[in-house]
Amino acid sequence: MEGVKNREGFTLAEILISLSILLIIYGLGALVSTNFSKSQTFGSEQYNLITILRKARSQAMSNINQSDYGVFISSSSYVIFQGSSFASLFQFYARV
């Protein structure tokens, strides 16, 4: 063994183990950040809906235009409407 020089450096196995550990840490971080983003989006949407409901309630309690107020919730938006039913209001605007 006298002819073999002592070389310093990393072996292929050490590099592969290090990369696999880094990939696992990165994967866990991506998973956590995705869940956090979803929860933040849900919380924001929940806050928006509560705000819209409170505004409709406030308008109804203030008896603005001596009318009822309500909230129509569709898949992509919230609509505050005046009157007892959104369906009749929607049919009115569909004819115009």
Secondary structure of residue 11 in the 3-state scheme: coil
Model-level pTM? 0.55
Which bin fits 47, alpha (ψ -120 to 50), beta or left (φ > 0)?
alpha
Residue 95 predicted with pLDDT over 50: no
Residue pLDDT, tens place only, 31-71: 888 888 888 888 888 898 899 889 888 888 888 888 888 88
Residue 6 half-sphere exposure toward CB, CA atoms < 13 A: 0
User: At 94, is the pLDDT very low, low, confident or very high (cuts 50, 70, 90)?
Assistant: very low
pLDDT of 20 strictly over 90: yes
Where does the pLDDT of residue 21 fall: very low under 50, low under 70, confident under 90, or very high at 90 and above? very high
CA–CA separation, 56 and 62 (whole Å) = 10
What confidence category does residue 90 fall into, taking pLDDT thresholds of 50, 70 and 90? low
Quickly tell me which residue has 């592969």 as its tokens.
16
| pLDDT over threshold 70, residue 89 | no
Q: H or E segment at 3?
A: none
Q: How far apart are CA 36 and CA 30, in angstroms?
A: 10
Look-up of token digits 């909230």: 71
